[in-house]
Amino acid sequence: MKLRLPAPILLLLPAIIVLVAVIVLPLLLSFYSSFTPFRLTRPETLWTFIGLRNYINVLSNWDFWVAFGRTILLLTIALNAEMFLGLGLAMLVNKATHGQRLLRTLMMFPMMFSPVLVGFQFKFMFNDNIGLVNNALQSLGLTDQAIPWLINGNLALFSIIVAEVWSSTSVFAILILAGLLAMPQEPVEAARVDGCTPWQTFRYVTWPFIMPFAFIAMTIRSLDVARAYDIVKIMTDGGPAGRTELLWTLVGRTAYSDARMGVANAMAYVSIVLSILFTVYFFRKLAAARQQIGAEW
């Protein structure tokens, strides 16, 4: 008796095969290799099982935790800056009486650039000798010598943060603007009638309504920043002296420069677990914001 699959499964079968081949099998292989001393230069090491040794080494690796702390620092500064700038842009566009569609299009402009292109743009802008930033500062008389933006450790991290904020503030702006456009105007008008100041209206009426939209943007961007790689790789390659090394640049360096693929995969899975914890935290904040809106509105 021949086994006949239902028509929906037959229609989905090509997509399932592609997903298994492109996503599931590589994930299973990488997860297995994280329990081996697999090196790219020694393929036979893929079949040597060493248990949790890689994970123990990762959790006791000082460089990993330094990169983790630096990633948290980048995430904290970038997310807060993007949220405040995105909120300001969204409120300005929402107040515009003419050309709002054009402003929304311009606001989305940075999102059209790939992270690699953004990295090259800002690497050129912060170049010591020919960069636009140094030339502008010297032309304005604010400095008489070139500032080593990408050579000084603290300034290099600041330059990366500027690039991240420029490229992704529009994510917050678009989602917060969507919340502002969906917000009913009756509570705002009632607050004005009751004599509330603009700040009080924003603090107690507008912000509680748009808070879930901000948390959605924060969740999306936290995952992006937590796995930041392209911009850092192009601008500084983790330098100088590892001062801008983040989690995923460390993973890439361990995997390909050092050829320690097993250890790199263990680092990657620990990083994924940490990213999931951040996502759970933001979703809890989102749920609390929704409950607050339900109670107040």
> CATH code at 99?
1.10.3720.10
CB 127 within 8 A of CB 155: no
pLDDT on residue 3: 64
pLDDT on residue 103: 81
Tell me the per-residue pLDDT of 6-15, one tens digit each, with 9 for 90 and over.
778 878 888 8
Domain contains 36: no
Given a cut of 90, whether residue 36 has pLDDT beyond it is yes
Domain contains 130: yes
Domain contains 180: yes
Which of the four pLDDT bands, split at 50, 70 and 90, describes residue 192? confident
pLDDT on residue 218: 83
CB 133 within 8 A of CB 123: no
Rounded Cα–Cα distance for residues 139 and 116 (Å): 29
The whole domain housing 137 covers 63-259
Given a cut of 70, whether residue 115 has pLDDT beyond it is yes
Tell me the per-residue pLDDT of 129-147, one tens digit each, with 9 for 90 and over.
888 888 888 888 888 888 8
Domain contains 99: yes
Given a cut of 60, whether residue 48 has pLDDT beyond it is yes
Which of the four pLDDT bands, split at 50, 70 and 90, describes residue 279? confident
Handedness of CA 179, 185, 186, 191 (dihedral sign): positive
Domain contains 105: yes
Q: Locate 189 and state its tokens.
A: 């008008």
Tell me the per-residue pLDDT of 57-79, one tens digit each, with 9 for 90 and over.
999 999 999 998 998 898 889 98
Domains: count for the chain: 1
Tell me the per-residue pLDDT of 144-189, one tens digit each, with 9 for 90 and over.
888 888 888 788 999 999 999 998 898 899 889 888 888 888 888 8
- Mean pLDDT value across residues 112-124: 89
Domain contains 164: yes
Domain contains 190: yes
Global pTM value: 0.84
Secondary structure (DSSP) of 147-214: --TTTSHHHHHHHHHHHHHHHHHHHHHHHHHHHHHHS-SHHHHHHHHTT--HHHHIIIIIHHHHHHHH
pLDDT on residue 286: 67
Domain contains 6: no
pLDDT on residue 290: 63
pLDDT on residue 204: 84
Tell me the per-residue pLDDT of 206-248, one tens digit each, with 9 for 90 and over.
888 888 888 888 878 887 877 788 889 899 988 888 888 988 8
